[in-house]
Amino acid sequence: MTSLISAGHRLQLNEIPYGPPDSVRDALSRALASANRYPEFFPQRLPRLIAERLGCAPDRIVMGAGATGVIMHIVQEFGSGGAEVVMAAPTFDGYPILVSMAGGRPIAVPLTGDGRQDLPALAAAVTERTRLLVVCSPHNPTGTLVTPTEFEWLLRSVPASVTVVLDEAYVDFVAAGDRIAVFDLLDRYPNLLVLRTFSKAYGLAALRVGYAVGAPEIVERIARWQLPFGMTALAEVAVRACYEAEAEIEARIAVLGAHRDRLTAGLRELGLCVPDSYANFSYLTLPAAEADRVATALAGADIHVKTYPTGIRITVGDRPATDAVLSAVRSTVQ
For every residue of 32-47, DSSP letters joined together read GGGTTS---SS--HHH
The mean of the pLDDT values for the chain is 93
C-alpha separations of 243 from 49, 186, 226 in Å? 10, 23, 25
Assess contact for 305 and 12: CB atoms under 8 A.
yes
Categorize the per-residue pLDDT at 8 as very low, low, confident or very high, splitting at 50, 70 and 90: confident
Q: Indicate whether 101 pLDDT > 80.
A: yes
pLDDT in the model for residue 189: 97
**For 142-160, what is each residue's pLDDT tens digit?**
999 999 999 999 999 999 9
* CB-CB contact of 200 with 16 (8 Å): yes
Express each pLDDT in 54-92 by its tens digit.
Answer: 999 999 999 999 999 999 999 999 999 999 999 999 999
Q: C-alpha angle with apex 278: 274 to 280, nearest 5 degrees?
A: 85
> Which of 201, 77, 75, 90 has its CA nearest to residue 136?
90
pLDDT at position 6 is 43
* Beta-carbon contacts of residue 296 (< 8 Å; ≥ 6 apart): none
- Kindly state the average pLDDT of the residues 231-239: 93
